[in-house]
Amino acid sequence: MMRFVSHVFPIYQKETMTSSRTTRLTVIVMIFNLILALIGLLQLQLIVRDSGYYGDTPYASLLQMYTLVAAFEAAFILFIVPALTAGSISGERERQTLDILLCTRLRPADIVVGKLLSCLSTAFVLMLSSLPVLTLVYIYGGISVWDLAVLFGCLTVTTLFIGSISTLFSALMKRTTMATVLSYLSVIFVTVGTYLVLVMVLNIYNVLTPNGVVVTGETMAPWNNLLLINPAITFYSLFSQQIGGTESISMLNWYNGYIFTDRMLTPDWLLLSCAAQLALSVLFIWLAAYAINPLHRKS
């Protein structure tokens, strides 16, 4: 804790101060809230119309609104975090300030963590600004404070996970543009790529096994653990558990029992996937710190 205050906080403070002087954060929050408002309004409109038909308040629609808002929030974070962090180290390098930082008593890990924290605080601003829309659902019932807390917890984990990947690329690449491209590719990989890998594995099993023998879900089970690092599945799991029933997200059911299993809809899975992503985050942070440490730098 002492170390945090004395070593990480300076970087965090500088980052938040410099970014608050630009219009970037304002624009991000504005766009984010505009879209949230649109979603909220449209959904309320639907509810009002439906209640006209059925004569009661359709809780399902309200819960759907919660899912929509929360899913949008998750998608927005996946989209915005690489932009926030891909330049964190390479930007210092391009500005020729990284060497000076490394000459201070701050250690590479302090710099990396400080930068990530400032990205996290931006994510927190987004989460907080979405609270009014989310509490609409809360007021009508169906969602508890605990649910909101778990949602924010998952969003934080995702931010850290994607942020640490981007920071690692930022530390490895000379140019911010390259780091940004690779970061977005990684986001696509963890959300879509992991799924495609599993489809491929399943197909390979199908080709390799002799005729008549059916590939079972059990064969795929170890492979399916790959989806632990897929934030999309994390949130799929979360929403299914929070609002109950999976009918609303049935489009993923193509590979039901093979790639998508019931295991993914349990609290255990949620916990495990958060743990896996956090563990990877720590690894990536460590690698990023290793990469910028002059002790290890090549040439």
CA-CA distance, 132 to 130, in Å (whole number)?
6
Nearer to other proteins, 6 or 216 (CB): 6
Q: In sequence order, which ranges of the chain are alpha helices (DSSP H)?
A: 2-3, 9-20, 24-54, 59-85, 88-94, 98-103, 108-129, 131-140, 145-172, 176-188, 194-208, 217-224, 231-243, 267-292
Contact at 8 Å (CB) between 39 and 68?
yes
Please say which residue, 22 or 211, places its beta carbon nearer to other proteins.
Answer: 22
Per DSSP, the residues of 4-47 read IIIIIHHHHHHHHHHHHTSSHHHHHHHHHHHHHHHHHHHHHHHH
What is the nearest approach in angstroms of other proteins to the Cβ of residue 93?
10
Give the residue with the Cβ less far from other proteins, 20 or 57. 20
We find the least distance from the C-beta atom of residue 178 to other proteins, in angstroms, to be: 19
10 versus 193: smaller Cβ distance to other proteins: 10
Q: What is the DSSP letter of 297?
A: -
- Residue closer to other proteins by CB (options 49, 174) is 174
**Cβ 81 vs Cβ 166: under 8 Å:** yes
Smallest distance from other proteins to CB 13, Å: 7
Q: How far is the CB of 105 from other proteins (least distance, A)?
A: 5
- In the complex, which residues of this chain contact other proteins (CB under 8 A)? 6, 9-11, 13-14, 17-18, 21-22, 95-97, 99-107, 293-295, 297, 299
Hey, what amino acid is at 65? M
Least Å distance, CB 8 to other proteins, is 11
CB of 118 to other proteins, least distance (A): 13
Cβ closest to other proteins, residue 99 vs residue 262 = 99
CB of 110 vs other proteins, minimal distance in Å: 9
Count Cβ atoms below 10 Å from residue 75 Cβ, excluding itself: 14
Considering the complex, state which of residue 116 and residue 165 has its C-beta at the smaller distance from other proteins: 116
Residue 285 near residue 116, CB atoms below 8 Å: yes
**In contact, 86 and 169? CB cutoff 8 Å:** yes
